[in-house]
Amino acid sequence: MGQYRRHVFVCTHGEYCPFDGSAEVHRLLKEAVAARGLKSEVRVNKSGCFNQCGHGPMVVIYPDDVWYGQVTPDKARRIVEEHLAGGRVAADLVYSAPPGAHKDPARMAEIQKARAAATDPPAKDGEPR
């Protein structure tokens, strides 16, 4: 066995997972692991893209090879309690897809539209956007 019993990776890069709150999920996982006294057994790291854009935030746990998608803060807490502390995969949260890239173009388009709306200057009275 390696230095850690489990290694948790959270996608915090790219255009999509950060928009959906991956930095908060990463922070929460790190804090919850520490609070449970698991820091010597579980390592939580930021990661690059897992090529599952639009299904994030993505969390992957090794050596268990378990992928969790659309992880919210509440789901992150469950992952810590059930999987990392309890040793049971949170089966209803598992992201299941065959190997390879699996992107969600509809969700990616929603994020791009929201990002554009957030950066567009406000329209002046009577002027179209």
- pLDDT digits 0-9 by tens, 80-108: 999 999 999 999 999 998 888 899 989 99
In a domain, 27, yes or no: yes
In a domain, 116, yes or no: no
In a domain, 51, yes or no: yes
Domain of 105, CATH number, reads 3.40.30.10
Find, among 73, 64, 51, 50, the residue nearest to 8 by Cα. 64
Find, among 90, 81, 107, 95, the residue nearest to 50 by Cα. 95
Q: How much is the pLDDT for 123? A: 64
Q: What is the CA radius of gyration of the chain?
A: 17
Q: How much is the pLDDT for 118? A: 85
Asked if residue 38 has pLDDT above 80, the reply is yes
In a domain, 127, yes or no: no
Look up the domain containing 34 and give its range: 6-111
Number of domains composing the chain: 1
In a domain, 123, yes or no: no
CA distance linking residue 17 with residue 22, whole number of Å: 6
Q: pTM of the entire structure? A: 0.86
Maximum pairwise Cα distance, the chain:
66
pLDDT band with cut points at 50, 70 and 90 for residue 126: low
